[in-house]
Amino acid sequence: MNRKFEILRIAVNTQHLLGDKLEGIGWFAHETLSRLVRRHPEHEFLFIFDRQWSPSFIYGSNVIPVKTMLPSRHPLLWIWHYEVEIPLILRKYQPELFFSPDGWMSLMTKIPTIDVIHDINFMHRPKDLPWLVRQYCRFFFPRFARKAKQIITVSNFSRNDLAETLHVPHDKIKVVYNGCNPAYVPLPVEVRNEVRNRFTGGSPYFIFIGARIPRKNIQGLLDAFEQFKATDEHDYKMLFVGEPMWSDTQMAEQLEQMRYKTEVVFTGRLSTEALQMVLASADALTLVSFFEGFGVPLIEAMYCDVPVICSNRTALPEVAGDAALMVDPSSVTEIANAMQQIARYPELRKSLIMKGRVQRKKFDWDQTADQLWEKIEQTAQALRTT
């Protein structure tokens, strides 16, 4: 096949662009696609939504929005969406490339695909997911990885994991780091005090941000906080921001047995503005997961001048660099000791903040978008010569 084209038409999987409900992968899609569309107005972008789109996601006149018949919100619907509806749309619009920022793609199309697979936690911790979800992911994602023309991932850890676990050549996988929303900035002391008064009655606090799922090690974090509180002299609270993804029964039972359960605060889901304020007012972020393909809250904390306590596993050491207190997520005592260090030693907090200011420079959405476009152009150039 000898395809000649100067203007690209790029089809994009936009199922994670969901109004005011952007999560980690949704933010990746939003931050990168908004830049790609605006920086490259000469090219066309076919955005494939699975429900009525928000006008805020139509980033330029070079975006053609298309909606599938059914929403893609269940493993059985994922099969219909990606193996039936998307191939029909691609056949109709004939794009040169299909770009998926969230890992899902179609096995039933000949259109070359660039697939962003953020991580494959489901291969290592399948029981963290509902049965049908993990069956889908464990069946389809290895096939997606083999079929994709190019794979993008967000850390060197994930690159090596994809290559070794899914038996994909290393040179097929490129690393493009996540960036950070520019809304995440430090707050003045008086504003931090107001935020603390609102959420914790004025007490200092540690913060966890994310879905409450088993691989995030919520049980270990609560046990560590309970141990820390036994010697706490500063009335610390533990603030959880986010919602349960599947079931919270085990955590509810654990809370009932805690001596210091009244010191644990749940905010639920917060807007970006409110999340930035509660993060920037924390004494430290605690992200002691068993598995992360990246760990975006780490860099959000660094941009807010907030120290970090994180796990020494998977991608977290790569993202944190030397700007965090590393702990074994299996050791409740190590996590509790890190909390004690943050509470007792202001100079340590200052040192971590200064190191975070250096480390955070590696993570910028403009850089991410530029590197993604470079990979898109390289793939397009390769198609021109085939």
Map 238-307 to HEC letters: EEEECCECCCCHHHHHHHHHCCCHHHEEEEECCCHHHHHHHHHCCCEEEECCCCCCCCHHHHHHHHCCCC
Q: What does the alpha-carbon distance between residue 202 and residue 320 come to, in Å, rounded to a whole number?
A: 29
DSSP, residue by residue, 194-206: HHHHHHHTT--EE
Q: Which amino acid is residue 330, in one-letter code?
A: S
Angle subtended at Cα 156 by Cα 152 and Cα 160, rounded to the nearest 5 degrees: 85
DSSP, residue by residue, 56-116: GG--STTEEEEE-SS---SHHHHHHIIIIIHHHHHHHH--SEEEETTS---SS--S-EEEE
How crowded is residue 164: how many other Cβ atoms within 10 Å of its Cβ? 10
Residue 251 is predicted with a pLDDT of 74
Question: For the segment 202-221, what is each residue's pLDDT rounded down to a tens digit?
Answer: 999 999 999 888 899 999 99
Distances (CA, A) of 8 to 150, 242, 368: 17, 39, 20
b or e along 333-355 (b: 16 or more beta carbons within 10 Å of the residue's beta carbon)?
ebbbbbbbbbbeeeeebeebbeb
All domains of the chain in start order, with CATH:
9-179+364-384 (3.40.50.2000), 189-362 (3.40.50.2000)
| Contact (CB, 8 A) for 50 and 84 | no
Helical packing angle, 189-200 and 272-280, nearest 10°: 100
Residue 254 is predicted with a pLDDT of 83
Residue 252 is predicted with a pLDDT of 77
Residue 165 is predicted with a pLDDT of 98
Tokens, residue 184: 């995440």
Tell me the β-bridge partners of 115.
100, 151
Write down the residue that tokens 């009932």 correspond to. Answer: 256
| Contact (CB, 8 A) for 68 and 80 | no
Q: What does the alpha-carbon distance between residue 87 and residue 228 come to, in Å, rounded to a whole number?
A: 54
Residue 3 is predicted with a pLDDT of 45
Question: For the segment 56-114, what is each residue's pLDDT rounded down to a tens digit?
Answer: 999 999 999 999 999 998 999 999 999 999 999 999 999 999 999 999 999 999 999 99
Angle subtended at Cα 163 by Cα 31 and Cα 131, rounded to the nearest 5 degrees: 75
Residue 2 is predicted with a pLDDT of 42
Low-confidence residues of the chain, pLDDT below 70?
Answer: 1-5, 245-248, 386
The dihedral sign for the CA sequence 133, 135, 141, 143: negative
Q: Which amino acid is residue 166, in one-letter code?
A: L
pTM higher than 0.85 for the full model? yes
Q: What does the alpha-carbon distance between residue 61 and residue 58 come to, in Å, rounded to a whole number?
A: 8
Distances (CA, A) of 277 to 209, 227, 283: 13, 27, 12
